[in-house]
Amino acid sequence: MSNVVEFRAECPHVETLSDCREALEPHVMKIVAEAAAWGFAPAEAAMVVADIADDYILMLSRELRS
């Protein structure tokens, strides 16, 4: 099994990922806050955002194999 910490240290995209997270995190937090205002639990909203992102990653990986 790979050590995730070691992988991240060697990943050539670490800075890009960090920049991307910095840019997107406020938007994701806004989505979660809006969902909470609609009555959803913040943890539930965050899990749904993560689930949507996971589905999108799986869709992209299928496209790469085609």
The pLDDT, as a whole number, for residue 16 is 86
Average pLDDT over residues 35-64: 95
Average pLDDT over residues 8-16: 68
Check: pTM over 0.75? Answer yes or no.
no
The pLDDT, as a whole number, for residue 56 is 94
Amino acid at 33: A
pLDDT higher than 70, residue 61? yes
